[in-house]
């Protein structure tokens, strides 16, 4: 299986996602993600964050384009870290909000407390990320192992 196909499946199963940025001075900032999707053809990841909590994230991304997204599948006890470069953002579309609804349904299925997914997520921003690397973050012997995303790099 092509590794980007695996990433696409990861995003469809993830019920916890966090975006990591840092200031130019290296001060980290984590922000909740409220859904996303990947595109196999251009190796891009799109994630959604509530506009209300975006000010510091966008300031960091303006000054430092490096970004990371942690994806967790609580059913399989697996996690994946995707690193990349911030490409830009737009306001979420109605289709983006439908993708967010599916993300929150997964959270409900995993019995997350209601307050966790009843956040003020509208309006939200859609952030595009060019994927550069991915790492297995599941505890065990392969934790931290790099995952090759393209067949050319293999």
- Tens place of pLDDT per residue across the chain (154 aa): 455 666 667 677 777 889 999 998 999 999 989 889 887 778 899 999 999 888 999 999 999 999 999 988 777 778 889 999 999 999 999 999 998 888 877 777 766 666 665 566 789 999 999 999 988 888 888 888 888 765 443 3
3-state DSSP of the chain: CCHHHHHHHHHHHCCEEEEEEECCCCCEEEEECCCEEEECCCCEEEEEEEHHHCHHHHHHHHHCCEEEEEEEECCCCEEEEEEEEEEEEEECCHHHHHHHHHHHHHHHHCCCCHHHHCCCCCCEEEEEEEEEEEEECCCCCCCCCEECCCHHHC
């Amino acid at each position: 299986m092509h590794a980007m196909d695996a990433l696409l499946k990861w995003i469809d199963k993830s019920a916890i996602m966090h975006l990591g940025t840092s200031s130019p001075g290296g001060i980290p900032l984590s922000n909740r993600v409220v859904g996303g999707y990947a595109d196999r053809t251009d190796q891009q990841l799109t994630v959604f964050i509530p506009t209300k909590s975006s000010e510091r994230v966008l300031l960091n991304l303006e000054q430092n384009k490096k970004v990371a997204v942690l994806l967790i599948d609580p059913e399989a006890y697996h996690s994946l870290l995707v690193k990349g470069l911030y490409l830009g953002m737009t306001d979420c579309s109605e289709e983006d909000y439908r993708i967010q609804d599916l993300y929150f349904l997964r959270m409900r299925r995993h019995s997350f407390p209601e307050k966790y997914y009843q956040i003020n997520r509208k309006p939200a921003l859609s952030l595009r990320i060019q994927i550069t690397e991915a790492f297995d973050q599941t505890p065990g012997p392969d934790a931290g192992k790099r995952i090759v995303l393209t067949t050319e790099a293999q």
